[in-house]
Structure 1
Amino acid sequence: MREPEPEEKGWAYEGRRKSEELRGGASGRQRSEKSGRGRPKANSVRQRARGAAVLAQPRKGWGRGPSLSLSGKEVGKKKRSQTRRTIQGVSFTGRPEDCSHFGDVPSIQEVPAFLSPGAMGPGGGLYACDDPQYWTAVLGCYKEVIRAKEGKSRKLVALDAWYQEELPVSIRERKEKYLTRDELVKLMEWKLARGKFRPRLQHLVATNPEELVKRCTAAAFSLLPNVEAAITELSQLKAVGPATASAILTAGAPETTAFMADEAVAAVPDLPGLQYTLKYYLLYLDKIQDCAKRLNQVDASSGWTPHQIEMCLWTWTMAQKLCPTVLPPSSWTAPKAKEGAEDVRPPKKRKASIP
């Protein structure tokens, strides 16, 4: 055992000496000094416990401030233990001493668009917003988000226009509300194009007989407002679960039901993990109906329906992924009407999406 040098005396040296005695040989630092390979990695608990005095020694590459890591992962392939902090919604990594200053943290203008305040919305989520005019502004972005979602398929825009505008008119004009087999097949095509594509469902739904489709859908509409009984009736059809059943009912009764879109469900707080069951749909629908009632209490003339709430939540979630800049910023306020100008508020019964 060599005599300690003056700068090595202290508790850090004692830790190395005890570690050497336990191993019966030279310490890792001494071996590295002899081999000239630089500081070794910490291979054991004893080596990692040698002391803060050794760990605090400067290392090449440090001292440049925290490294930005929006995904929460370490960047620059730093093998050392690092500390994560969050500043202005941006996650970064760095040594504890580097986290004490924020000089290298980017300004809010340098943060990507999907993390900007405008993308976060009022209060961090749309569902908690109580401003009907802000919801109206989000609903106005729906068609633009549909175009962004369509991509190269060139089908979704036409299918969505059919579902939102043409199909409700056809159902309402009938003496008794029902869907035909062709309408059910096209509705499934719209649902899969707008959400997650499952080709087996498209093939399976086409095997339903025409008479069975008319009878089940007519019985389901007649059972409303008992949504539970209506969905149970529609479940007799092949490839029709609670989500597809909700799309059928929403096309003919948007004031009562809402489509169970995965993206809309994701925007509703305090729901358990997504399940395609009747019980889960009823929980989701209660949340949607409560939101519509809340907005209508703020502005009785707005006339929000569960379907419109669902459309806004779908727009909100998809815009975050595809085109966050189209959403109104959190500081958005409705333009004030000039004196003497006509009332620009929406009519009592809105017909923007489902007539």
Structure 2
Amino acid sequence: MILRTFGWSFAITAVGLAAALLYQGGTGLALVAVLAILEISLSFDNAVVNAKVLDRMSPFWQKIFLTVGIAIAVFGMRLVFPLLIVGITAKLGPVEAFDLALNDQHRYEELMHNAYPMIAAFGGMFLMMLFLEFVFEDREERWLAWLERPLARIGKLDQLPVVVAGGALALVASFWAENPGNVMIAGVLGMITYILVNGLGELFAEANEEDEDGADTSPGHSGPSALALATGKAGFFLFLYLEVLDASFSFDGVIGAFAISTDPIIIALGLGIGAMYIRSLTVFLVRKGTLSEYVYLEHGAHWAIGALAACMLISIGHHVPEWVTGGLGAGLIIAAFATSVVRNRAAGGGGTIGGGDAGDQDARLHSSRV
């Protein structure tokens, strides 16, 4: 199971480290290893959320995500995206931007940091919308019940995530951004992207479920499923949603990588290896059914996403160390995993389940045993 799931990641790691060794010797090898660890620590919560979405996709679209999606994540976001940003900022062509990255790395880093407020605004607002949509929704399972219960209650107000996210963007742009107009535009585009991609995915998913409901249920035909897997247009928009989500997560890692190395080849190798492990971890979570077994993991991942979104918005005006961002995410997920284990043991032993509503404990005990 481990080798089948992580085999490609192990292979890419070996190739990437060998390439780094040939490219810059022992220094390059060490830098690539550190960057890979950085990417994994910053994006672990991405794997948990990806697994939740991937579980809704048909086998065909899962394969597309794990093949074409990997190419986009590794080469597109970790190599092409920084060059594209520098090219747009400095009004350079792709070849000139690549030449600048190789021969004038200090200027390349400066241009990337100058563009960071807009990058952080776009990615931060996309992730904040994802977080707010989750915490404002009423759910049967609650991890931080004392906080999630009142949030779900006020979440009944229509379009509250848009109101809260828009208010946060306005405050950040007004008080911290050197160029408020650009930050506002980038942040609004991040919100629009989330609403559009997520909305289209849900639209076509509903249409797919309606087709399933109208299918022939006579003997010899498969009847409608309670959880119809997304195919066709629904699968495409879920795939697109996952790619934008991955891009939003990678922004912080790409910028943070410049604290370790300014060489685009080293950055691409290190972050690419990390991205491969995130993909493999996503598959592992889906195949093992980990999210069903440890029900608070999804909650922890979304709270980690909220923390990352907040860090990205704060970083528009103040530097936030990478260890803070990665530590918050990892800490929340570890806490969610630990409380899930406690919950499962309590359910198996006939005890009470912590973290949820007291009135729902008997029903949860029953459902967990089933």
- State if a TM-score over 0.5 links the two structures: no
TM-score band by shorter chain is under 0.3
TM-score when scaled to structure 2?
A: 0.24
Question: TM-score under structure 1 normalisation?
Answer: 0.25
Bigger helix fraction: 2
Whose relative contact order is higher, 1 or 2, with alpha carbons under 8 Å and at least 6 apart? Answer: 2
Q: Which structure is larger by alpha-carbon Rg, 1 or 2?
A: 1
